[in-house]
Structure 1
Amino acid sequence: MRWLYWGLALLVVLAAGGYAVRQAVFVSPKSPNPSFAPEPLPTAPQEETRPAVFLTFDAGGNNGGVAKIRDVLRSEKIPATFFLTGRFMERYPEDAKTLLELGPIGNHTYSHLHLAQLAFASATAQILKTEEVAASLGLSLKPYFRFPYGESTPELMKFIEENGYKAYGWTVDTAGWRGTSAGETIENIRERVKKKLAPDAIILMHLGSNPQDKSTLDADALPFLIDDIRAAGYIFKAL
């Protein structure tokens, strides 16, 4: 009888021990699974290290290439910077507003004259009048400024800086403005850009058509230039 008593007691102890072991290893479905590593913490986005190129477009007498340039930049999601004359904004106010959606716009004087050849007062009037035109359309041009033909004087440079502008030149002129009548082609433009492509290159193009032959070489070459520049490992930024 005593043997039976101790046998039953041993069975109770073993059963309780097994239950305790099962409780120790049991994991609630609501608890983290210890057999898996925790989810990695999200990391900050990597800083872009590829060199950049800046597309810039000057506007003058007409808007011949605007629609195509606008559509290409939108489709490719590429920013650019646009330097507009006062006359262009007066003639094509809706184009001016649309271009601002694609990138900053800047002051390219009122009528694209050689400022260095004008009296100081006349030259500064070209700049200030363009500001007035832009303001009438609800547009802001500062701090972007480009001298027509890249021609400036120390006095004019001081004037624009004192008035909140920074002058931007260019490192590559596509020369598409010369037109097909001067023998220019899309291939010429592509080769010209490829030869001078470098980090922080500023490419000068034009929004209008050639007044003689009506060609829009810069607009026509733009999709090819984008492919060439990307293939060379560059990204696009606005100034």
Structure 2
Amino acid sequence: METRSLAARRRVSRRLVTAGLLAGAWEVVSGPPTGAAKAVSMRPTAAADGLQALFGSENRLIRTREQVVAVTFNAAWNDAGLDSVLGELARRHAPATFFLTGAFADSRPEVVRKIAAAGHGLGNHSYSHPYFRDLTAAGRRREVQATDQALRAAGAGTSLTPFFRFPYSETSPAQINEVNGLGFADIEFTADTNGWKGTEGGMTVDLAVGRALDALAPGAIIQMHVGASEGRTEVIDAQALPRMLDAITARGYRVIDLRSLLTPAAGSAGADARQ
């Protein structure tokens, strides 16, 4: 039997979809993004549809028997590595999901449109990247909603997903419930390449690639960044991406689109995402 809180989240999700607030995300999942590899069909096992199957969890791993991996990028600083990243993804027909802050989307709407035009998914990474534990519930709600509005205003269109990633990946069950109540599933990551630290932080391309490959397992979610902090322009993750993608393929894995999790489809490889 459903708990009261889960039943309430299901009702909220259905209302949002009915109202069309998530229409952009739900229109796009019927097929892979333009120029991207065909997504693996996955059947949620814990709920009536893919989005609701992701509720109630921080989703750091896609539970699947398939040798698949999801590649994701955060954007909160600059877009110094974006052209290189998009070029490498296109050359390998690999999909990705980009989690942008609202402030980034407001200041760089052309970047939002460029990612959308390339066929990749766009996720919500809060507006100002604060520590959510320091905010009130109303403040956290504003962070999520303002980013959704910023992405829509920038031209995210059908690339917009109902996915949220917490700043600093600091989650709590209560805050996940809040995000779910707004119609978003929390998508975190299995491993971060730590390329964002830069050479000043002791990172190298070799180390970034190694961290991604060390985490390689069915359903792994890799986190990278498209920019560099504090005015830097060297983006280790952009340099590491081609080697990482080639190694993933060489080890028999495929890169899938996280939006495939939203499609309840019959198939032999049932999968869902869990902590």
Give TM-score scaled by structure 2 length: 0.66
Amino acid aligned to 1:129: A
Amino acid aligned to 1:63: D
Q: How many residue pairs are counted as aligned between the two chains? A: 193
Gapped runs of 5+ residues in structure 1? 1-46
Match of 1:183 in 2: 202
Match of 1:96 in 2: 112
Query: For 1:57-96, what aligned pairs fall within 5 Å after superposition?
Result: 57-96=73-112
Match of 2:124 in 1: 107
Relative to 1, partners in 2 of residues 1:51 and 1:209: Cα closer, same or farther, differing over 3 Å?
Answer: same
Asked if the contact 2:121–2:161 (Cα under 8 Å) also holds between the matched residues in 1, the reply is no
Instruction: Report sequence identity in percent.
Output: 35
Relative to 1, partners in 2 of residues 1:234 and 1:155: Cα closer, same or farther, differing over 3 Å?
Answer: same
Query: For 1:133-212, what aligned pairs fall within 5 Å after superposition?
Result: 133-139=150-156, 141-211=160-230
Match of 1:4 in 2: none
Q: Quote the offset at 1:148 in angstroms.
A: 0.7
- Deviations, residues 136-178 of structure 1 (Å, cap 9, x unaligned): 2242534111111111233321121122110001001100000
Query: For 1:213-228, what aligned pairs fall within 5 Å after superposition?
Result: 213-228=232-247
Asked if the contact 1:210–1:216 (Cα under 8 Å) also holds between the matched residues in 2, the reply is no
Q: Quote the offset at 1:84 in angstroms.
A: 0.7
Gapped runs of 5+ residues in structure 2? 1-39, 42-64, 259-275
SS of equivalent residue, structure 1 residue 143: strand
Asked if the contact 2:124–2:164 (Cα under 8 Å) also holds between the matched residues in 1, the reply is yes
> Could you tell me how far apart the structure 1 residues matched to 2:173 and 2:203 are?
34
Greater length-normalized contact order (CA 8 Å, ≥ 6 residues apart): 2
Relative to 1, partners in 2 of residues 1:231 and 1:115: Cα closer, same or farther, differing over 3 Å?
Answer: same
> Could you tell me how far apart the structure 2 residues matched to 1:237 and 1:116 are?
32
Asked if the contact 1:61–1:88 (Cα under 8 Å) also holds between the matched residues in 2, the reply is yes
Amino acid aligned to 1:60: A
> Could you tell me how far apart the structure 1 residues matched to 2:191 and 2:168 are?
13
Which has the higher mean CA deviation after the structures are superposed, 135-144 or 53-62? 135-144
SS of equivalent residue, structure 1 residue 170: coil
Give TM-score scaled by structure 1 length: 0.76
Asked if the contact 1:144–1:167 (Cα under 8 Å) also holds between the matched residues in 2, the reply is yes
Asked if the contact 2:73–2:224 (Cα under 8 Å) also holds between the matched residues in 1, the reply is yes
SS of equivalent residue, structure 2 residue 213: helix
Amino acid aligned to 1:113: P
> Could you tell me how far apart the structure 2 residues matched to 1:186 and 1:135 are?
34
SS of equivalent residue, structure 2 residue 72: strand
